[in-house]
Amino acid sequence: MQDEKVALFIIFGGSGDLARRKLYPSLFRLYQKGYLQKHFAVIGTARRPWSNDYYQQIVFDSLASLNPDAEQAKEFASHFYYQSHDVTNTEHYVVLRELAQKLDTQYQLAGNRIFYMAMSPRFFGTIAGHLKSEDVLDDRGFNRLVIEKPFGHDFASAQVLNEDIRASFAENQIYRIDHYLGKEMVQNISAIRFGNNIIESLWNNRYIDNIQITLSEALGVEERGGYYENSGALRDMVQNHISQIATLLAMEPPVSFDAADIRSEKIKVLRSLHIGTPEEARQDFVRGQYGAATVAGEALDNYRDAAQVAPESKTETFVAGKMTFENYRWAGVPFYIRTGKRLAKKATRVDVVFKQLPMNIFQSVNKQDNLAENVLTIYIEPTEGFTLQLNAKRVGQGFATRPAALTFRHSSEAATNTPEAYERLLLDILNGDSTNFTHWDELAQTWRFADVIEKVWASEPAPDFPNYLSGSMGPACADELLARDGRHWVYDPTQTDCE
């Protein structure tokens, strides 16, 4: 049996999609594993007037895909209580406080409270304010506030949201979820970098030419057109997930593998992230939107044909660009980034391209102008591992070299945004481990960075969308971006199976 965790969860948005599909199954898994036993309770709040019985049935039903033992699932669901709650009504927080106190006594919860915001971000500030003013926080134990993305729409709105929340909760009580930033990813990148002298000692601008981060999705916008129209790839992926990957790659080795030490290195390196001028944003970032194509016999539509998407939509479903960190380690090394929907293959990977040797001594004997570049590829999803591409002698007479790859791969345990990923995040929150959550200082800086690009794009006519075919690797301008610097994308699944 695991160490039992003791806490009261208060979920705002207890009737919503996130709660049913992710949170309840994840809490149940923690229960099955013994992290949650007798001393936990959950209050679900939402607007509808539900009874406890009805709510417990909803929770029970949400576990169906896990094929649970019915007795165990029933026992688990009996820890759930419902409160019909209008987040703007002060009286309702008084009722909530009383219910929380009652459950705290009944289940002996030691005043430990986790407030989970599983609803629209526009209510976060209101809820946080009322939790404090109506004394729903309990200073006998811990109070932790969990916030889903998106955290703001730009720097200004993120700052307002943050100030609203910080009026009631201290920074170390706030857990801003970036579900992409699973522990696996942090551990995967850290293991390669900090577990290998031959890698870490080459990890700088003397040996590395450029770093490429690709986060490609094969799916289109599907049912999320309404949300995506107001977001776009830059806000949805670059400001948060890609920036987090870049940060893990660029940060200095932390003093220890402790959450606080990792966090402080991430914040430090983000201070050196170059916030471009509008002119640089114009040059260094390109956008795209997918168009219809037939891929593997399947007719795929335009982004503009998706539900709740404007027929003339200017929203980008693809971004490529160049990030730079202005510090000793990385001066002069571009971090090329690329993300998009409806690309050739679903993959998250990093290609670290090493500098060429100062000369090719084999040129006179083998007529090869250039040796292939050494590349370290770090696979993040759907498989984990790495490949190190070196040059070796081709077997046979004469002298020629060929690339040889040293590969270690295995399928990644838990994809992002799955019950497993949420299970881990919930356990981290119970443990007070903030490694996988974003600090305000990180968010502030990545919003400042994204805002410049967003402003330039908003002020100029969009390119002639759609400008890339579904099933491709994005628009031609993404290739030109690197070609201009004399480089190319290492990963191109449309050319060869170069995974």
Active site residues: 241
460 near ligand NAD (CB under 6 A): no
How far the first Cα of the chain sits from its last, in Å, is 41
Whichever of 13 and 125 has its CB closer to ligand NAD, that residue is 13
Whichever of 86 and 485 has its CB closer to ligand NAD, that residue is 86
499 is in an annotated binding site: no
Task: Give the residue, chosen from 8, 10, 27, 46, that forms a contact with ligand NAD under the rule CB under 6 A.
Answer: 46
Residue, CB closest to ligand NAD: 16
Whichever of 175 and 379 has its CB closer to ligand NAD, that residue is 175
Question: Minimum CB separation from ligand NAD for residue 425, in Å?
Answer: 11
Task: Give the residue, chosen from 4, 75, 86, 222, that forms a contact with ligand NAD under the rule CB under 6 A.
Answer: 86
Whichever of 83 and 210 has its CB closer to ligand NAD, that residue is 83
Phi, psi (rounded to 5 degrees) for 364 = -70, -30
Question: Minimum CB separation from ligand NAD for residue 177, in Å?
Answer: 7
Whichever of 93 and 468 has its CB closer to ligand NAD, that residue is 93
118 near ligand NAD (CB under 6 A): yes
Question: Taking contact as CB under 6 A, which single stretch among the options 112-120, 132-140, 197-205, 481-489 is the one that binds ligand NAD?
Answer: 112-120
Chain-centroid distance of CA 417 in Å reads 9
Q: What residues from 2 to 31 belong to the interface with ligand NAD (CB under 6 A)?
A: 13-18
Whichever of 50 and 335 has its CB closer to ligand NAD, that residue is 50
Query: How many C-beta atoms lie closer than 10 Å to residue 281's C-beta?
Result: 20
47 near ligand NAD (CB under 6 A): yes
148 near ligand NAD (CB under 6 A): yes
Question: Taking contact as CB under 6 A, which single stretch among the options 82-90, 216-224, 324-332, 385-393 is the one that binds ligand NAD?
Answer: 82-90
87 near ligand NAD (CB under 6 A): yes
178 near ligand NAD (CB under 6 A): no
Question: Minimum CB separation from ligand NAD for residue 380, in Å?
Answer: 19
176 near ligand NAD (CB under 6 A): no
Chain-centroid distance of CA 407 in Å reads 26
Question: Taking contact as CB under 6 A, which single stretch among the options 118-126, 232-240, 330-338, 393-401 is the one that binds ligand NAD?
Answer: 118-126
Task: Give the residue, chosen from 121, 253, 385, 493, that forms a contact with ligand NAD under the rule CB under 6 A.
Answer: 121
217 is in an annotated binding site: yes
Question: Minimum CB separation from ligand NAD for residue 17, in Å?
Answer: 3
20 is in an annotated binding site: yes
Task: Give the residue, chosen from 2, 51, 90, 120, that forms a contact with ligand NAD under the rule CB under 6 A.
Answer: 120
Residues that bind ligand NAD in the complex, under the rule CB under 6 A: 13-18, 46-47, 85-87, 118-121, 148-149
Annotated binding site for NADP(+): 13-20, 47, 86-87, 149
Residue positions forming the annotated binding site for substrate: 179, 183, 217, 236, 341, 346
